[in-house]
Amino acid sequence: MKVFITRKIPESGLDLLRKEFDIKVNPQNRALTKDEIIEGVKGKDGLLCLLTDVIDKDVIYAEPNLKMIASYAVGYDNIDVAAATKCRIPVSNTPGVLTETTAEFAWALLFSVARRIVEGDAFTRAGKFKGWEPLLMLGQDVTNKNLGIIGAGRIGTAFALKSKGFQMKVIYTDEQRNEQLERELGAKKVPLSELLKESDFVSIHVPLMKATHHLIGEKELKMMKKTAILLNTARGPIIDESALIKALKEHWIFGAGLDVYEYEPKIPEELKKLDNVILQPHTGSGTIETRTKMALMVAENLIEGLKGNIPPNCINKEVFLKKTTK
């Protein structure tokens, strides 16, 4: 069978796939356009895609024999899963293997913003450090503060659990109760408005979907403490970026740490000019170990799916239910 891979992933995954299939990997070191993906998928049985690829109806319908879409990411807001399901194409993602890595990254952002690490580094390199100063670059303490988790799923839970050493009061908002957080941290489930008002650090871990688009806008940012820090390692459009720019400019909050952007990879010039925000290039899951595990996972999913089996991380298992009840 033939597989199209929209961009080079770690060799561990490619090696597994080469043993099973005739694979074609995008030879260019850039994300492909939709037209290029459509061209690439023609005549293929499987598609291995990334979160930067728009996998909509046009792509899904481009190849009538397409049998499997395996995404190299946990979030799948870029894929029209309903359209794939309609065509009985299983779609898979890579959950779990990147949980701890992404949670660690959110902590790296939290400390970097709270203690102004990036600003301090630039200041020191620029030769501006003239010795210890009582009022130089003052930040925010972390220990004993209130930590607010928006979306206490896999990553939100791992992020919250890592607060243990800092004796923080953890509150969370989610559609479901998180008994682990309640048991291990005494965490409390609260409405979003209460979380925003109470938290010193707010970390976003919900998936991007209709209900979470612009979940944080002007009204929500105004509810936050002036000393609070907002972190987003989930997906950019969950925050109304222009409202956030206003909030940072006018100091409604202390700062923000962002790994993702509303119109990724475009980042507004205004945001780049602000020194109370730390900007990262969507590298939340970016460690050698984790990207290797993701590569193996995406390959295993594709192999199982193309064999006609339910891929271990299938998002739309109903595809198989329909097949058996037909």
Whether residue 264 lies in the annotated active site: yes
When binding is defined by CB under 6 A, the residue of 211, 250, 269, 325 that contacts ligand NAD is 211
> Coil, strand, or helix at residue 18?
helix
Q: Which run of H or E residues covers position 22?
A: strand 22-25
> Coil, strand, or helix at residue 99?
helix
| Active-site hit among 63, 235, 241, 262 | 235
Alpha carbons 225 and 197: distance in angstroms, whole number = 6
Site for ligand NAD in 13-72 (CB under 6 A): none
When binding is defined by CB under 6 A, the residue of 8, 34, 88, 154 that contacts ligand NAD is 154
Whether residue 235 lies in the annotated active site: yes
> Is omega for the bond preceding 311 within 30 degrees of 0, making it cis?
no
HSE (side-chain half, CA atoms, 13 Å) at 104: 10
Helices (H) and strands (E) in the chain, counts: 14, 12
Torsions phi, psi for 286 (to 5 deg): -85, 65
| Active-site hit among 119, 184, 218, 264 | 264
What is the length of the chain? 326
Binding mask 79-118 for ligand NAD (x = CB under 6 A): ----------------x--xx--x----------------
When binding is defined by CB under 6 A, the residue of 10, 46, 75, 236 that contacts ligand NAD is 75
Q: How far is the CB of 112 from ligand NAD (least distance, A)?
A: 15
Listed in sequence order, the residues at least 6 apart from 290 whose beta carbon sits closer than 8 Å to its beta carbon are 97, 98, 101
Site for ligand NAD in 292-311 (CB under 6 A): none
| First-to-last C-alpha distance (Å) of the chain | 25
Tokens of 201: 């650090």
Residues 5/14, Cβ–Cβ less than 8 Å: yes
How many residues contact ligand NAD, by CB under 6 A?
30
Contact status: 174 vs ligand NAD (CB under 6 A)? yes
Q: How far is the CB of 237 from ligand NAD (least distance, A)?
A: 10
Torsions phi, psi for 24 (to 5 deg): -125, 120
Whether residue 104 lies in the annotated active site: no
- Residue closer to ligand NAD by CB (options 23, 297) is 297
Tokens of 311: 């891929």
When binding is defined by CB under 6 A, the residue of 67, 116, 205, 293 that contacts ligand NAD is 205
When binding is defined by CB under 6 A, the residue of 26, 212, 313, 316 that contacts ligand NAD is 212
When binding is defined by CB under 6 A, the residue of 284, 290, 293, 306 that contacts ligand NAD is 284
The site for ligand NAD (CB under 6 A) is made up of: 74-75, 95, 98-99, 102, 151-156, 173-176, 205-208, 211-212, 233-235, 259-260, 282, 284-285
- By annotation, the residues acting in catalysis are 235, 264, 282
